[in-house]
Structure 1
Amino acid sequence: TGPAHWELLLRARAVDQQVYIAGAAPARDPQAAYIAFGHSLVANPWGKVIARTGPEEAIIVAEIDLDYLARVRQELPLLK
Structure 2
Amino acid sequence: MKTVYDFVTVISFACLVLTYFMFTEGGLKVLAHFMLPAAAFAIANQVGNVALQRGYLWLDALAVVLIVAGIGYTYIVVRH
TM-score normalised by length of structure 1? 0.31
Q: Which has the larger radius of gyration?
A: 1
Of Structure 1 and Structure 2, the greater helix share is in: 2
